[in-house]
Amino acid sequence: MNWLRPSALMRPLSEDMNVNEVKPSIDVATKMAEALQVSLDYLVGFADDELDHSLTQKIIDIQKLNDEDKSAILKTIDALLRDAKARKAYAQ
């Protein structure tokens, strides 16, 4: 099975699907994505960027908070991102 090779797992499954080499079920694809800690979108080539699993989990945790706590955390993140982007821009 070519899709079990590590090099095959690093390219989108959609490449193999296009040549009818393999068509894993959604259950199998989901398990593969979980094992590789990537999204299904990334696994099949619909997303260009791989999302960090720990960051994704933090976003899910934030979504579960009450509105006041969520707002405070997002404002803090926005401020930190703004500062980091400014430092990067001025460093160039």
Q: What is the per-residue pLDDT across 63-73, written as a single tens digit (0 to 9) for each?
A: 999 999 999 99
Give the pLDDT of residue 63. Answer: 95
Q: What is the DSSP string of the chain?
A: -GGGSHHHHTS-HHHHHHTTS----HHHHHHHHHHHT--HHHHTTS-SSPPPHHHHHHHHHHHTS-HHHHHHHHHHHHHHHHHHHHHHHHH-
Give the pLDDT of residue 38. Answer: 81
- Predicted structure pTM score: 0.53
Q: What is the per-residue pLDDT across 9-35, written as a single tens digit (0 to 9) for each?
A: 555 555 555 555 667 888 988 898 888
